[in-house]
Amino acid sequence: MALVRYGKITNSLEKREIVLLRAFPCKWGRCSFCTYIDDNSTDEDAIDRTNFKVLEMVTGEFEVLEVINSGSCFEIPTATLEFLKEIVVAKKIRKLYFEAHWSYRHRLDEFRNFFCVPITFITGIETFDDDFRNRVLKKGIAFKDIDEVKSYFQSICLMVGIEGQTKDMISRDIDILIKNFDHGTVNLFVENESGIKPDLELQKWFRENYAWLENEKKIDVLWKNTDFGVGAEESESSR
């Protein structure tokens, strides 16, 4: 089935439209919990056809647009990026959000120079526990301290509720996010076909003890991975 690829984020500090684009295969592609890469393709024409239709839905209502894909923004085809730039100009978009893997951290200015509008770059740190992040989640992200992360990315994603995580790990991650970043997303892990399992007791604890995050305007909480309004399968009636 086709996926919902356009939505609006209205309960955040910065209201924005959001589009889920298709792209080439994720350069990293080894995260142990991720099944999103099934949305990737090597058929550039097919990718662009999908993306053009999605981008034509952008209205500029909030003058802010978040662009996500199953990987990093650097894997979006050139023709799509060029059309996106036309949309940015035509719809008077004043700010963009993009996601990128840590391995692209030295290339972020390429996008800033291309789009010529402020960009908030997001990366999926998932947890600041180095062992769990790399040994279990296979993120391939190593840094010397929080300041190094902040020097590249203005926003981070955290993931909570996975077997092997602890309450202390999650509490530390949330504390670091709030104290150090202007924006962040906290994702409650949803079981998929990856083989990584949720810790349901830990998730229950998180829901009970961190429900207040919904009122923390600089943090977006995704209780389900489709809470931004994109990524779910389209119903037949909506086509």
For every residue of 104-150, DSSP letters joined together read GGGGHHHHHHHH-S-EEEEEEEE-S-HHIIIIIS------SSHHHHH
Residue 66: predicted pLDDT: 98
Number of independent structural domains in the chain:
1
pLDDT per residue as tens digits for the range 45-58: 999 999 999 999 99
Q: Is the model's pLDDT at 237 over the cut of 50?
A: no
Mean of the pLDDT values across residues 162-174? 98
Residue 238: predicted pLDDT: 47
Q: Is the model's pLDDT at 154 over the cut of 60?
A: yes
Q: Is residue 106 part of a domain?
A: yes
Domain that holds residue 75: 6-238
Q: Is the model's pLDDT at 60 over the cut of 90?
A: yes
pLDDT per residue as tens digits for the range 117-134: 999 999 999 999 999 999
pLDDT per residue as tens digits for the range 200-220: 999 999 999 999 999 998 999
> Closest Cα to residue 138, out of 146, 127, 148?
127
Q: State what percent of residues in the chain have pLDDT above 70.
A: 97
> Closest Cα to residue 121, out of 183, 63, 30?
183
CB 235 within 8 A of CB 3: no
Residue 234: predicted pLDDT: 76
Which residues are CB-contacts of 191 (< 8 A; sequence separation ≥ 6)?
Answer: 197, 198
Q: Is residue 200 part of a domain?
A: yes
**DSSP annotation of 38:** G
Q: Which tokens belong to 142?
A: 């190593």
Residue 68: predicted pLDDT: 97
Residue 235: predicted pLDDT: 65
pLDDT confidence tier of residue 36, bands split at 50, 70 and 90: confident
Q: Is residue 104 part of a domain?
A: yes
Other CB atoms closer than 10 Å to residue 207's CB: what's the count? Answer: 14
Mean of the pLDDT values across residues 15-30? 95
Q: Is residue 191 part of a domain?
A: yes
Q: Is residue 1 part of a domain?
A: no
Q: Which tokens belong to 98?
A: 């993009």
Distance CA 116, CA 127 (A): 31
Residue 144: predicted pLDDT: 96
Query: Rounded mean pLDDT of the chain?
Result: 94
Rg over alpha carbons for the chain, rounded to the nearest Å, is 17
Q: Is the model's pLDDT at 186 over the cut of 80?
A: yes
CATH of the domain at 40: 3.20.20
Which residues are CB-contacts of 28 (< 8 A; sequence separation ≥ 6)?
Answer: 71, 72, 101, 103, 140
Put the strands of the sheet holding 6-9 in their side by side order. Answer: 6-9, 16-21, 64-69, 95-99, 119-126, 155-160, 183-188, 219-222
Q: What are phi and psi of 226, to 5 degrees?
A: -110, 15
pLDDT confidence tier of residue 61, bands split at 50, 70 and 90: very high
Distance CA 55, CA 52 (A): 5
